[in-house]
Amino acid sequence: MTIRFDDQVAIVTGAGGGLGRCHALELARRGAKVVVNDLGGARDGSGGSSEAAEAVVGEIEAAGGEAIANGANVADYEQVRAMVAAAVDKWGRVDVLVNNAGILRDKSFVKASLEDFQLVVDVHLMGSVNCTKAVWEVMREQKYGRIVMTTSSTGLYGNFGQANYGAAKLGVVGFMNTLHLEGQKYDIRVNCLAPVAATRMTEGLMPEEALALLQPEYVTPAVVFMVSPDAPSRQIISAGAGGYARVYLEETPGIWLAPDERDADHVAANWDRIADKTGAEEYQDGSGQSMKFLTRAAKELGIKTG
Ligand code: NAI
């Protein structure tokens, strides 16, 4: 076992069951002291109890590890702040944050209420923001931090009945992109996981035979890699059933239209060329896109730059 977290402190949200529990157990097995956070509610976010988090702490301790249970609601910044303060009081630092807590309120958009939409955004997107905000200063000061956001195929690609969840889940990808840039100087690395696993969240959504192949334990290695000392940054890794892949956000080279062609008819007539993936690029930040257009325009118009 070469990837180790000795003397490191990790917080895993929503770690009372499913994927979070597996992440917490594996980080502890590799030497991390772990805050096992879980509100302990139902799949739709209702109710709450500390039992699930305490049971996982029991499992970690039984295996010789160190952990504390925490019942903070990630959507409540004051509770999250207190959770991070408790970890720092006890162990002096926070090296790893795995934003994993989540709920579902599935309904087609036509039937969905704005209250459900808000709640899903509050837990997935604002929950990740709250936890990251609470550890950010600690990680900057210690000049070390590893953060994982949990995105989803729904955010990346869409799934019927999950408009609220998809919006929140792609939100964390945008959040990662900028945190990666702002954290670089302090060795804070931020990545995203897009998991596929049989948990209570996917109960009833897939046939039994498929669920049997999708043990949540198989996803955890991707998370452990993304929070390890040699982790990459600003990557989206998808994982499930023993498969591991990287998701890219790319943009085509596109076309340049002369001043007298810049209308919707020319865009429509050139749609195939605009969408042609040949030479597609992944930018390192938003200015990559601006520079592409400016460079092309300057070249076409014979304007010298730089
Ligand atoms: P799960 O329902 O077993 O685990 C989610 C955990 O988060 C639960 O233990 C729950 O009590 C906790 N939680 C919910 N709201 C909370 C809050 N406000 N504060 C603190 N804890 C809270 O589901 P699963 O599948 O393990 O999901 C983990 C993450 O993975 C979620 O973010 C989910 O959206 C994401 N995901 C899961 C996929 C899958 O195939 N299972 C697919 C794509 C994403």
Which atom of ligand 1 approaches the CA of 99 most closely?
A: 32
How high is the mean pLDDT of the chain?
Answer: 96
Domain range enclosing 63: 9-246
Counting ligand 1 atoms within 8 A of each CB, the residue from 11, 12, 13, 19 with the most, and so the one to mutate, is: 19
Q: Is 165 a known active-site residue?
A: yes
Are residues 155 and 274 both part of a single domain? no
pLDDT in tens, 212-250: 999 999 999 999 999 999 999 999 999 999 999 999 999
What's the mean pLDDT in 155-176? 98
In the structure, what pLDDT confidence band is assigned to residue 183 with cuts at 50, 70 and 90?
Answer: very high
Are residues 209 and 278 both part of a single domain? no
Query: The domain spanning residue 41 has which CATH number?
Result: 3.40.50.720
Q: Which one of 77, 144, 157, 165 is the catalytic residue?
A: 165
99 Cα: distance to centroid of ligand 1 (angstroms):
9
Are residues 58 and 195 both part of a single domain? yes
Are residues 115 and 199 both part of a single domain? yes
Q: What single letter denotes the amino acid at residue 227?
A: V
Residue 136 lies in a domain: yes
Residue 206 lies in a domain: yes
Are residues 97 and 180 both part of a single domain? yes
Q: Where are the alpha helices (DSSP H) in the chain?
A: 18-29, 51-62, 77-91, 114-121, 127-142, 153-157, 163-183, 208-213, 220-226, 264-269, 271-275, 287-301
Are residues 158 and 275 both part of a single domain? no
Q: How many domains does the chain have?
A: 2
Q: Which residues line ligand 1 (CB under 6 A)?
A: 13-14, 16-20, 37-41, 43, 45, 52, 73-75, 100-103, 123, 127, 150, 152, 195-197, 199-202
Are residues 273 and 201 both part of a single domain? no
Are residues 91 and 222 both part of a single domain? yes
What's the mean pLDDT in 125-145? 98
191 Cα: distance to centroid of ligand 1 (angstroms):
17
User: Does residue 296 register a pLDDT over 90?
Assistant: yes
The whole-number pLDDT of residue 201 equals: 85
Are residues 231 and 96 both part of a single domain? yes
230 Cα: distance to centroid of ligand 1 (angstroms):
26
The whole-number pLDDT of residue 306 equals: 66
User: Does residue 101 register a pLDDT over 70?
Assistant: yes
Q: How many CB atoms lie within 10 A of CB 296?
A: 14
The residue nearest atom 37 of ligand 1, judged by CA position, is 195
On whether the CB atoms of residues 93 and 7 are closer than 8 A, the answer is no
